[in-house]
Amino acid sequence: MAGCIIVEESCGISQSTIQSSLAYSAHQQALFSQAIFDSLLHSELLVTDLPVATRFDRSLLALPADRTVLNFAQKLGHLFEDALAATVDASCGLRLIDQGVQFTGSAGQTLGELDFLILDQARQQPIHLELAIKFYLAQKDADGIMRFPGPDPRDNWPRKLKRLTEHQLRLSDDPAIRHLLSERFGIENIEVAHLIYGCLFDHIDANPTTCAPAMSIHCRRGRWLRVSEISARYNASDAVTVLPKPLWPVPISDSLRTELPSCPVSELLKAAEQRCVMFVTPDTSLPMFLVPYPSPEPRNHTTKDDAVDAHPFVCES
């Protein structure tokens, strides 16, 4: 994969911070790429085995060569798809059959897309692998019901789980897709697996014991807080490290932290006027999620059968 100058959204941070995030050095590009590869192989998964698909066996993946540098000028999901493809290519036991496989019906209608088709060479077993990078906030609504909204206003965990279990992980059960798998790839029998990474954020004043349906009890966790709550915990001049979007799913090591620009809390608040921001403080690597409005309360049309459909904070993909 070709390297590139990393393009990062300014997020309203000071000009000096913007400049250092817009032009990462070759050393930074390599370091961040290796951190992403390592997180794919070793970081805690967000979701456990599901009835329709188990977690993919990551022991079959391998680290790419040290000089493999990812293309950071793309959305987070595409970046991690490229990274996962590189770990499959580096494996002695796997072969990447295809990636982003789209299927259309005889009338031209879209049937669906499989993230990856992989061959487990030892078993000669084709695998449909779905990859996802997700972030959710644990919050109680006015009725005391726990909700799990995501930073994208169209996303929440119950809705995503339903789509995974009823659609994405069942695509290869569709007779039309099974026919196309046979016709295009010679695949008659296919297994389904998933790799879902991310983080569950508990409110800064809550006990971190909340468990969401199907999420792993060992998943990566962080804290979230509102803009209105930050002044009670930090001074405006306190330094924090803002995490660029490509590193949101990655546990932050000391070596990564030293390569990232810091800014005062006052600049962090400016960033949060427009969108959510993830950051760490000097004394911990625990990821913090700053919500740009006073309260991410669900809108009136939300029902108790669904988590927050939309909420007043937005973070671009």
Position 138 confidence tier, pLDDT thresholds 50, 70, 90: very high
Better-predicted residue by pLDDT, 296 or 202: 202
Core vs surface per residue 52-61: b (16+ CB within 10 A) or e? ebeebeeebb
Q: What is the CA radius of gyration of the chain?
A: 20
At 110, the pLDDT band (50, 70, 90 cuts) reads confident
pLDDT of 293 reads 62
Q: Is residue 1 a part of any domain in this protein?
A: no
Looking at the 3D structure of the chain, how many domains does it have? 1
Residue 299 lies inside a defined structural domain of this protein: no
Greatest mean pLDDT range, 167-171, 271-275, 282-286: 167-171
Distances (CA, A) of 175 to 106, 127, 129, 165, 167: 13, 17, 18, 17, 14
Decide if 225 is inside a domain.
yes
Q: Evaluate whether 85 touches 62 at the Cβ level (below 8 Å).
A: no
Whether residue 245 lies inside any domain: the answer is yes
Residue 83, in any domain of the structure: yes
297 with 147: CB under 8 angstroms? no
Please check whether residue 182 lies inside any domain of the structure. yes
Please give the average per-residue pLDDT across 221-241, as a whole number. Answer: 93
In a domain, 309, yes or no: no
Q: How much is the mean pLDDT over the chain?
A: 84
Q: 271 is in which domain, residue-wise? A: 15-291
pLDDT(21) > 70: no
What does the pLDDT average to over 210-226? 92
Q: Is residue 11 scored above 70 in pLDDT?
A: no
**pLDDT tens for residues 174-212?**
999 999 999 999 999 999 999 999 999 999 998 877 789
| Domain assignment of residue 297, yes or no | no
The pTM of this model reads 0.85
Confidence of residue 103 (pLDDT cuts 50, 70, 90): very high
Residue range 93-120: mean pLDDT, rounded: 93
Q: pLDDT value at position 153?
A: 67
